[in-house]
A = this chain, B = another copy of it.
Amino acid sequence: MDEKKERIIVAAKELIAQFGFKKTTMDEIATKARMGKSTMYYYFKNKEDIFAEIVRIDSDIFHQKLNEAIQVANSPQDKIMQYVRTRMLHLKELSNYYKTLTHEYLDHYFFIEQVREEFYNFENSILSDLINAGIEQKLFAPCDVDVVVRMITIAIKGLEYSSFTQKEQDLERDSKQMIDIIFKGIEVRA
């Protein structure tokens, strides 16, 4: 029954969002999902497995949003701009959602690391493709694509950091300004 699995996920998601992973007990999830505790063990191996599934779902949605964003835009520049913009906005939303977990991240949950790794590869591949497309279309100067991608991701890291203390609006403005500088540079043009 997939509907049962869904109920567990929904209940767990709400509780975890409110209280964090550790503070949410299997009994609470079971009660909220209106079923016996051991029933959940028929659908999930253990507590971590439930959380892993929740993270996986969110991660899928996030990937999808990013893919949509670059499909909507036209030029490589626009695609990169929209990618970064969407990434920042939705990540802030997600991190806001998972705020109760921030502390628990310290305790190494393997699948967090795994999701991070997956996302790193995803992002790298998208950005590489966009930079390469830009070079082919003679929009970007021929350059070491890996280096450029790396610098963009480092810049994104900086944006991410500054986003902790920032409202959504400023974050979007900063993202645009950063990408703009990476595109055009600040030196005078010949």
* A binding-site residues for B, Cβ under 8 Å: 77, 131, 134, 138-141, 143, 147-148, 150-151, 153-159, 161-162, 174, 177-178, 181-190
Task: Check B177 against A147 for contact (C-beta < 8 Å).
Answer: yes
Task: Check A186 against B148 for contact (C-beta < 8 Å).
Answer: yes
Secondary structure at the A interface, as helix, strand, loop or mixed, is helix
What residues of chain B lie closer than 8 Å to A183, measured between beta carbons? 185-187
Whole-angstrom distance between the Cβ of A121 and the nearest chain B Cβ: 16
Q: Known contacts being A151-B178, A154-B159, is A187 close to B187, with CB within 8 Å?
A: no
Whole-angstrom distance between the Cβ of A6 and the nearest chain B Cβ: 37
Task: Check B174 against A154 for contact (C-beta < 8 Å).
Answer: yes
What residues of chain B lie closer than 8 Å to A177, measured between beta carbons? 147, 150-151
Nearest CB in chain B to that of A153: its residue = B158
11 residue pairs of the A-B complex, CB under 8 angstroms, read A139-B187, A150-B174, A154-B159, A157-B157, A157-B158, A158-B158, A182-B182, A182-B186, A183-B186, A184-B187, A190-B190
- In the A-B complex, list the 6 residue pairs whose CB atoms are closest, starting with the nearest: A185-B185, A158-B158, A157-B158, A154-B158, A184-B185, A157-B161
The residue from B139, B147, B181 contacting A148, defined by CB atoms under 8 A apart: B181
